[in-house]
Structure 1
Amino acid sequence: MIYAQILAGGKGTRMGNVPMPKQFLSLADKPILIHTIEKFVLESRFDAILVVCPADWLSHTQDLVSKYVSDERVHVVTGGSERNETLMKGIEYIRDNYGLHDDDVVITHDAVRPFITSRIINDNIEAVLANPAVDTVVPAIDTIVQGSEEKIDDIPVRSTMYQGQTPQSFNIKTLIESYEALSDAQKETLSDSCKICLLAGQPVKMVRGENFNFKITTPYDLRVATALVETRS
């Protein structure tokens, strides 16, 4: 079974004074979240597409999906308090409603990356069917500087540096086993889902993303995204 999980659990604190989480803000003619869901329903290989959202916004999300999306594979699920808890809530839904099998995989994606392409989705599916974990990346354009307390500690070689995007894709049983193997202290350091597998000693395959597959996080990002949609229309 091949599942998609759209992570719509963020609160969007960096978007500034807005009335709702950023995934529900309008991008051109419809909410950002809907733009993203529409890219996933185009892929016929998905057995189910989960939209995992905050509990307080469950009804709102269900209303949006009912209004804009006519695909019975799309299900709205309550998420957790942070990213990886939200990810695991989606996995629990899969386990409880479909059961788990050794070859089941999940392609997870940020709700606020609406410019994902069919090529990126396909590459993730093909890669995760042959690997336990997959990350979508683009080569770093700028030099990466590592430091703390306003002092540079290291400047890594740029040719080995990449910027992580999503989708991030996993063999579901491997993801569960990797997460359960982590200590509470390790779980608190997680800012990226692929790190779950890395900390558990699992290899992570990289696939190529696109620079336009960016995450809408700030008001500037939303302006850029709006201009991009208008240019394409």
Structure 2
Amino acid sequence: MIYAQILAGGKGTRMGNVPMPKQFLTLADKPILIHTIEKFVLESRFDAILVVCPADWLSHTQDLIKKYISDERVHVVTGGSERNETLMKGIEYIQENYGSHDDDIVVTHDAVRPFITQRIINDNIEAALKHAAVDTVVPAIDTIVQGTEGKIDDIPVRSTMYQGQTPQSFNIKTLVNSYNALTDAQKATLSDSCKICLLAGEEVTMVRGENYNFKITTPYDLRVASALVETRD
């Protein structure tokens, strides 16, 4: 079976003084989250589409989906305290409600990347059916500088550098086994879901993203997103 998991657990601290998490802010005429969900309901191969959100915003999320989305595949699930705990809460929901099969896959996506395309979704599904872990990336345009405490430690070769986006897609059994194999210390270092598989020794395959598949994180991002929506309209 094929599942989508939209991660809507962020608090939006970098968005500044706003009344709600960034995924619920309005973009054009509706919440950012709804723009994102709409892209996923267009893909008929998803058996279920999970929206994983903070417990305090569960009712609000359910109300938004009831207002804007008429697709019975969409379910709202309570997330965890951080990204990968939220991811695993979604996996637990899948296994409890749909069972577990060796070839099940999940396509995970940030709720605040509303400009994802059907091509990117399709490429993730096709790649995840063949590989245990998949990351969506774009080539780095600027030189990447690695440093600590205000000093440069290394400048990697730019041609081998990529910027990670989402979706990130997984064979569910491989993802769960990889996560369970990590130590608490390793789990504490996780800033990216694909790193779960890398630390467990699994290969991660790349698929091409798009520069406009960006994450709305700051007020500037929201202004750019609003301009992009107006241009497309």
TM-score range, shorter chain: over 0.9
- Write the letter of the residue equivalent to 1:70: S
Distance in 1, Cα, partners of 2:51 & 2:149? 38
Q: Could you report, residue by residue, the CA deviation over 1:77-115 in whole angstroms, capped at 9, with x for unpaired residues?
A: 000000000000000000000001000000000000000
**Counterpart for residue 217 of structure 1:** 217
**Counterpart for residue 102 of structure 1:** 102
Distance in 2, Cα, partners of 1:150 & 1:79? 35
**1:130-209 equivalent positions in 2, closer than 5 A:** 130-209=130-209
Q: 2:18 is paired with a residue of what secondary structure?
A: coil
Distance in 2, Cα, partners of 1:229 & 1:146? 34
Distance in 1, Cα, partners of 2:123 & 2:84? 23
Q: TM-score, normalised by structure 1?
A: 1.00
Gaps of 5+ in 2: none
Gaps of 5+ in 1: none
Distance in 1, Cα, partners of 2:189 & 2:215? 21
What is the Cα-based RMSD across aligned positions, in Å?
A: 0.2
Q: 2:230 is paired with a residue of what secondary structure?
A: helix
- Write the letter of the residue equivalent to 1:147: G
Q: 1:190 is paired with a residue of what secondary structure?
A: coil
Distance in 2, Cα, partners of 1:66 & 1:173? 31
Distance in 1, Cα, partners of 2:81 & 2:15? 19
Pair 1:128-2:128 in alignment: yes
Distance in 1, Cα, partners of 2:26 & 2:82? 23
Distance in 2, Cα, partners of 1:141 & 1:183? 35
Distance in 1, Cα, partners of 2:100 & 2:30? 34
Shift of 1:27: 0.1
**1:36-47 equivalent positions in 2, closer than 5 A:** 36-47=36-47
Distance in 1, Cα, partners of 2:77 & 2:199? 27
Q: 1:131 is paired with a residue of what secondary structure?
A: coil
Q: 1:192 is paired with a residue of what secondary structure?
A: coil
Q: Could you report, residue by residue, the CA deviation over 1:105-147 in whole angstroms, capped at 9, with x for unpaired residues?
A: 0000000000000000000000000000000000000000000
Q: TM-score, normalised by structure 2?
A: 1.00
Q: 1:229 is paired with a residue of what secondary structure?
A: helix
Q: 1:101 is paired with a residue of what secondary structure?
A: coil
Q: Could you report, residue by residue, the CA deviation over 1:152-209 in whole angstroms, capped at 9, with x for unpaired residues?
A: 0000000000000000000000000000000000000000000000000000000000
For this pair of structures, how many residues does the alignment match?
233
Q: 2:147 is paired with a residue of what secondary structure?
A: strand
Q: Could you report, residue by residue, the CA deviation over 1:34-93 in whole angstroms, capped at 9, with x for unpaired residues?
A: 000000000000000000000000000000000000000000000000000000000000
